[in-house]
Amino acid sequence: MKCRRCKAPAVIDIRRHNAAFCSECFLHHCREQVRKAIHEYEMFGPEDRVLVAVSGGKDSLALWDLLVDLDYEVDGLYLGLGIGDYSDESGVHTRQFAQERGLKLHEVDLPTDHGFDIPGAAQVTRRAPCGACGLSKRHLFNSTAIEHGYDVVATGHNLDDEAAVLLGNVLRWETGYLGRQYPVLEASDGFARKVKPLVRLGEREMAAYCVLSGIDYQVEECPMAEGNRHLGFKEVLNSLEDRSPGAKAAFLSGFFARGHERFQTEADQVLLAPCPECGAPTTTGGTCAFCSLRARAGVVPVELRAGR
């Protein structure tokens, strides 16, 4: 197997591109895919200040590394979720990455700064932890970006993540979510622009990127991911991809090109008002979902939580 670009011995093959690459050309390929995504979807320009949401996992650290390589002005934000050793180790990987490269990292810690953690929030809501977790992340990524004057929040969602979300949205015909599922969500009153520059790169490519560029990342999966229905959708898509390489990318990019805009009208009709507690725009007409969660989850004594 030879590298498509330089003909040296290849270290990785990517079936959907019908190509193999040596280490150096693979890193170049990843940068090119991110560069193309940024331009194709007009995510941001050199004048924009970008805040990348980093979890300590492969995708977000690779994204930060790639954006720095591409010369964008980009700082990191780490959100401590209070998920035991998993969160402690994720924080260590993130801080180490930032320190080694002299990059600026903001940190928000749910237990210290907001008085609750994700296991406690899951308990009071009686729902899968990912619901409370996703809600908290969306809220705090945005509020931190607004507070510090960033134009854009970039997240490490990759092709596999987005294809799995799309499959879930299609299976239930979630028209509102389909109208908002796109690599760019424009800024509006109280909301920074949200972008996903890894939409052209798969999970396996991101792991390879980290290994080949010496990025030490959190390899453990989140212990609360069990029951996350997207894991099942990923398995289904992987078996399709095995039989027909490129199916996943065609599903996702075809939706962005030809499906997404058909759902937009409905998504645009949402009315927003500021949350009386934190000022964030919300659809509830009262306290925003994050402040409600904080009020409920913050009062559960630690010793009463399940699993303690």
Give the DSSP H or E segment for 49.
strand 49-54
How many whole angstroms separate alpha carbon 115 and alpha carbon 63?
Answer: 30
Q: Long-range CB contacts (< 8 A, 24+ apart) of 82-89?
A: 82/109, 82/110, 82/111, 82/116, 82/117, 82/118, 82/119, 82/120, 83/117, 83/118, 83/119, 83/222, 83/223, 83/224, 84/119, 84/223, 86/218, 86/220, 86/222, 86/223, 89/56, 89/218, 89/220
Task: Kindly state whether residue 119 participates in binding ligand Q46, applying the rule CB under 6 A.
Answer: no
If one asks whether residue 129 binds ligand Q46 (CB under 6 A), the answer comes out as yes
Applying CB under 6 A, the site for ligand Q46 has a residue count of 10
Distance CA 267, CA 167 (A): 18
Q: Distance of CA 252 to CAs 16, 37, 177, 243, 307, Å?
A: 13, 13, 14, 17, 39
For ligand Q46, the binding residue among 30, 53, 133, 289 (CB under 6 A) is 133
User: Which of the ranges 66-74, 223-231, 239-247, 300-308 carries the binding residues for ligand Q46, by CB under 6 A?
Assistant: 223-231
The minimum distance between CB 228 and ligand Q46, in angstroms, equals 6
Candidates 23-31, 165-173, 220-228, 284-292: pick the segment binding ligand Q46 (CB under 6 A). 220-228
Of positions 278, 295, 298, 300, contacts Zn ion by CB under 5 A: 278
| Interaction between residue 120 and ligand Q46 (CB under 6 A) | no
Q: Which does 19 bind (CB under 5 to 8 A by kind): ligand Q46, Zn ion, none?
A: none
Contact 183, 154 (CB under 8 A): no
Q: Which of 277, 281, 296, 298 binds Zn ion (CB under 5 A)?
A: 277
Contact of 173 with 134, CB cutoff 8 Å: no
Does 297 bind Zn ion (CB under 5 A)? Our answer is no
Q: Does 228 bind ligand Q46 (CB under 6 A)?
A: yes
What letter does residue 223 receive in the DSSP assignment?
T
Q: Looking at 211, 225, 272, 295, which residue binds ligand Q46 (CB under 6 A)?
A: 225
Closer residue to ligand Q46 in complex, CB, 133/288: 133
- Site stretch for ligand Q46 (CB under 6 A), options 125-133, 187-195, 234-242, 247-255: 125-133
If one asks whether residue 201 binds ligand Q46 (CB under 6 A), the answer comes out as no
140 contributes a contact to ligand Q46 by CB under 6 A: no
Residue 272 interacts with Zn ion (CB under 5 A)? no
Is residue 200 a contact partner of residue 34, using CB atoms and an 8 Å limit?
Answer: yes
12 contributes a contact to ligand Q46 by CB under 6 A: no
Q: List contacts with ligand Q46 (CB under 6 A).
A: 81, 118, 129-130, 133-134, 222, 224-225, 228
Q: List contacts with Zn ion (CB under 5 A).
A: 275, 277-278, 280, 288, 291
